[in-house]
């Protein structure tokens, strides 16, 4: 199945780039010798990256902390309710 029509990237090509070590959408494009064009495929590539992440394979939830924000984004009043 095609992931990126603009660059003719299919799932096999993107998966190979991820297996070879690409960890970001930009790294996938670079590994495939492509550049983003319309951008519609970025979400699909991100999903593929998330599915292949080591944390996902181990069953550990993937979490990312944003500097300056609390680890739990829910206000204490909502959590207490």
Q: How does pLDDT run across 8-19, given as a tens digit for each residue?
A: 999 999 999 999
Is domain 1-81 classified as CATH 1.10.10.1100? yes
Q: Could you tell me the residue ranges of all domains in the chain?
A: 1-81
Q: Which residues of 45-74 are buried (b: 16+ CB within 10 A; e: fewer)?
A: beebbeeeeeeeeeeeeeeeeeeeeeeeee
Q: What is the pLDDT of residues 24-74, one digit of tens each?
A: 999 999 999 999 999 999 999 999 999 998 655 445 444 555 566 555 555
């Amino acid at each position: 199945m095609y992931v990126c029509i603009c660059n003719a990237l299919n799932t096999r090509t993107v998966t190979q780039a991820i297996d070879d070590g690409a960890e970001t959408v930009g790294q996938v494009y670079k590994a495939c010798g492509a550049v983003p064009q319309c951008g519609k495929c970025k979400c699909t590539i991100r999903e593929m990256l998330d599915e292949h992440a080591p944390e996902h394979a181990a069953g550990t939830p993937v979490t990312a902390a944003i500097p300056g924000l609390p680890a739990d984004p829910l206000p204490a009043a909502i959590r207490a309710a």
